[in-house]
Chains A and B, each alone.
Chain A
Amino acid sequence: MTIKTTLTAIGLALTLPLAATAEDVEFMTWTYTEENGRPFIDAMIEGFDGEVEPIGYAWGEMTRNTFLRARTDTLPDISQVQARLLPTLANIEQMVDLNTVFDRSQLEAMFPPGFLAFGEIDGRQMALPWIGGTIGMVANEQVMEAAGIAEVPGTLDEFTAALVAIRDSIPNSVPYGLATRNNNSIVLDYLIWVWTHGGEVMLDGEPVVNSPEAVAALEYMVMLVEERLAAPEIDRPDARRLFGQGAMGFYFDAPSAISFAQEFSGDETYGQYVQPMATPVAVADADPVSIQWGHVLVMYGDENATADSAPAEFLMHLLSDNVLVPYASAKGVLPTTTSGQASADITSDPYLTAWAQNAGVPRRNTIAGLSNGAEVATIIGEEVQAAILGQKTAEEAANDMQARLEEAMANAG
């Protein structure tokens, strides 16, 4: 055997295992790491005519791992992305403009315009919407009944009265799951309450968080904690757990709140107590607000940017009615495709119908789209925390927040 033959044999031997284990598609998703989501992802992969390798990271780890993979050139082919984080991730060069993969007319036929806009950045289609809805308030009817609350509160005064009733009638309860621990969660609650009080956080790229309306919103949040109607040390996962355990009356979440309530109550029928409701309004005639929410799917790698590539076919597979509708229905969220929304499973779902009716006027998360959105979220979270923990008055915190945000925006250029 010559040296050349030997080297060729060694080369072949080394490449064989690679060939045997190579997958057609790498799919990065956080749902795969969630106990109630993994079976769905497994079923989606099993139903696809090709080899798919799922790559699971916890939700909070997704962004960091995506950037680390981008810098080491190990990005997956397809990835699940939180819609509000898309503007940040769209800076990754390898992300594919899906207008170059699929016909625009095909996409417009597949999705309602509002949902298709979830994935648009500067005129490019950087993602396709997967599941969607809003971040809105949910009420626990079991808790309301125990506290003697007959109707879902519609105004802030009614809401506050309901919280007092829960505090006074259910020992060791947290009436409202105001996010008070994690900056990223605090920002969402803060945005909704500022809007509810008639204020804004950003106007034309400039912070306006020390307006009378924004200060009033912060004062309201402080009052909730001072009166033990909300509690420190609460993040979204804590709120979901307490809500499912019948120790919380209200909190803000995505439509998937129903699946968390079922999981944490240990009762599959607990969803009957989860009531979507409109965010209480400051004055009776005002429009209730909520925040647009959704998961989108992105593609990485120019080599995948053809409609007949395995990743492109897997993308369409994930958006097909027979895959998407059962998944969305089980999670209690809306499928984003026109045909999926028209399906009998969705139109006959009273929870989803109620959610859509109570969404009020959904608004775009004005923080998430900023290039320094994470820094802005940190500043808002820290100042809101300082106010609700009594380190500063609401006005002082609002003024400090304004000054820090102005500096951050100036540094960001």
Chain B
Amino acid sequence: MARTDIESPSLPRKDAVRLPASPYAKRGGLKAGQGRFGMLLLLPAVAAFSLVILVPFLEALWLSFYRYTIEMNAPRWTGLTNYARVLSDSAVLGSLMTTAVFVTLATAFSIFFGLAWAVILNEPFRGRNSLRGLSLLPWIMPATVAAFLWGWIFNSRYGLINAAALEMGLIEFPQAWLSTSSGAMAAVVITKVWLSIPLFMSFFLAGLASLDREQIEAARVDGAGNWHVLRDHVVPHLRPVLLVTVVLGMIGNLQHFDTIWALTGGGPVRATSVLSVEVYRRAFEQWDIGMAATIGVLWVATILPPAYLYLRQLMKGVE
């Protein structure tokens, strides 16, 4: 701790002279003044957070205890009825399962391909920087544009996949890929993975930049192949980054809405109806605001565990 002039080592502490406080001194001393200044600096962020996130969330929480539909002029208190309905509603429980499938697949494949692409782009070769730049294109592209692009690729009549498969004689008639449960889920996962690879790749590339190349070369001299280098050196080195990307990926995929809505609208039937789509449908198609708010609260509850893990990891880094 830094010493002050008052605590001069030339004077024994018990005989220290107590100097009069400056008339400009802040109450509680310099540290308290700094604390108050810090709080002042925090105020805009706190105000923005309260306005944009906290107040709407509290309002949604409040609405989840009410029945509020299109024909009602004011919400009517129903207590925990909406929660009871949600827990017995097979559509909502199905959406929960669909969300779990989507989040698992989209996160796993995003990390796998993001890591693979980062490892490739970490190697020195001609044109590497250009390829790194081009790899960011899906990230820059608006999500709905990406959804329409993939929608065209999967389209049953004009789609690229059908055209190629028909040309090669693999299918006799055009297939409606988005009209099967598995096809629609595959399409939304592929689209989300394609959008996420650049972000994940950037995380892994940043992690790989600090990898000790001499260590890798030493391992290779000892006879380690690519797989062993990846397993014993690269992955352990990237473990902190990996943890953060898994958690961020889960949070992002739990929140995901736009490409799913643009690509399949949550269908066919309910095959891609994740929680975000369910909330949208209840709120803006069926105008059951109370139920939408309840499902929204449930949705937030699913996001909280990975968010907690992420924050804990961040705080560890700070400590």
A interface residues (Cβ-Cβ under 8 A, vs B)? 64, 67, 88, 91, 93, 172, 174, 180-182, 228, 231-233, 242, 371-372, 374-375, 378, 382, 385-386, 389, 391, 411
Q: State in angstroms the CA–CA spacing of A232 and B281 once bound together.
A: 22
Q: State in angstroms the CA–CA spacing of A59 and B156 once bound together.
A: 25
Q: State in angstroms the CA–CA spacing of A178 and B155 once bound together.
A: 17
Beyond the given A93-B73, A232-B176, could you list 15 further A-B residue pairs with CB under 8 A, ordered by the A residue number? A88-B70, A174-B157, A180-B179, A181-B268, A232-B156, A233-B156, A233-B157, A372-B286, A374-B285, A374-B287, A378-B285, A382-B267, A382-B270, A385-B269, A411-B85
- Taken residue by residue from 282 to 302, chain B's Cβ proximity to chain A (1 for < 8 Å, 0 otherwise) reads as 001111100000000000000
Question: Residue of A at shortest CB range from B180?
Answer: A389
Q: Which residues of B contact A371 (CB under 8 A)?
A: 69-71
Q: State in angstroms the CA–CA spacing of A371 and B176 once bound together.
A: 34
Q: Are the C-beta atoms of A385 and B286 separated by less than 8 Å? A: no
Q: Are the C-beta atoms of A231 and B176 separated by less than 8 Å? A: yes
Question: Residue of B at shortest CB range from A65?
Answer: B284
Q: Is B174 an interface residue (CB 8 A)?
A: yes
- Residue of A93, A233, A411 touching B176 (CB-CB under 8 A): A233
18 contacts between A and B (CB under 8 A): A88-B70, A91-B70, A91-B73, A93-B73, A172-B157, A180-B179, A231-B157, A231-B176, A233-B179, A371-B69, A371-B70, A371-B71, A375-B286, A382-B269, A386-B269, A389-B269, A391-B181, A391-B269
Q: State in angstroms the CA–CA spacing of A88 and B270 once bound together.
A: 25
Q: Which 5 A-B pairs have the closest CB atoms?
A: A232-B179, A232-B176, A91-B71, A374-B286, A375-B286
Q: Are the C-beta atoms of A378 and B286 separated by less than 8 Å? A: yes
Q: Which residues of A contact B287 (CB under 8 A)?
A: 67, 374
Given A232-B156, A389-B179, also A182-B265 (CB < 8 A): yes
Question: Residue of B at shortest CB range from A173?
Answer: B157
Q: How far is the CB of A107 from chain B (nearest CB, A)?
A: 26
Q: How far is the CB of B140 from chain A (nearest CB, A)?
A: 26
Q: How far is the CB of B138 from chain A (nearest CB, A)?
A: 24
Q: State in angstroms the CA–CA spacing of A242 and B176 once bound together.
A: 16
Q: Which residues of B contact A242 (CB under 8 A)?
A: 157
Q: State in angstroms the CA–CA spacing of A174 and B174 once bound together.
A: 11
- Residue of B73, B179, B284 touching A64 (CB-CB under 8 A): B284
Q: How far is the CB of B77 from chain A (nearest CB, A)?
A: 16
Q: Which residues of A contact B139 (CB under 8 A)?
A: none
Q: Is B308 an interface residue (CB 8 A)?
A: no
Q: State in angstroms the CA–CA spacing of A57 and B267 once bound together.
A: 24
Q: How far is the CB of B60 from chain A (nearest CB, A)?
A: 15
Q: Are the C-beta atoms of B269 and A172 separated by less than 8 Å? A: no
Given A88-B70, A172-B157, A378-B285, also A181-B267 (CB < 8 A): yes
Q: Are the C-beta atoms of A385 and B268 separated by less than 8 Å? A: yes
Near A by CB (< 8 A), chain B positions 140-188 give: 155-157, 173-174, 176, 178-181
Q: State in angstroms the CA–CA spacing of A91 and B268 once bound together.
A: 31
Question: Residue of A at shortest CB range from B174?
Answer: A172
- Taken residue by residue from 245 to 288, chain B's Cβ proximity to chain A (1 for < 8 Å, 0 otherwise) reads as 00000000000000000000101111000000000010011111
Q: State in angstroms the CA–CA spacing of A411 and B81 once bound together.
A: 11
Q: Which residues of B contact A372 (CB under 8 A)?
A: 69, 286
Q: State in angstroms the CA–CA spacing of A378 and B156 once bound together.
A: 23
Q: State in angstroms the CA–CA spacing of A382 and B269 once bound together.
A: 5
Q: State in angstroms the CA–CA spacing of A231 and B173 once bound together.
A: 12
Question: Residue of B at shortest CB range from A386?
Answer: B269
Q: State in angstroms the CA–CA spacing of A372 and B179 once bound together.
A: 27
Q: State in angstroms the CA–CA spacing of A374 and B283 once bound together.
A: 11
Q: How far is the CB of A4 from chain B (nearest CB, A)?
A: 33
Q: How far is the CB of B81 from chain A (nearest CB, A)?
A: 10
Question: Residue of A at shortest CB range from B288?
Answer: A375
Q: State in angstroms the CA–CA spacing of A228 and B176 once bound together.
A: 12
Q: Which residues of A contact B288 (CB under 8 A)?
A: 375
Q: How far is the CB of B195 from chain A (nearest CB, A)?
A: 22
Q: How far is the CB of A236 from chain B (nearest CB, A)?
A: 14
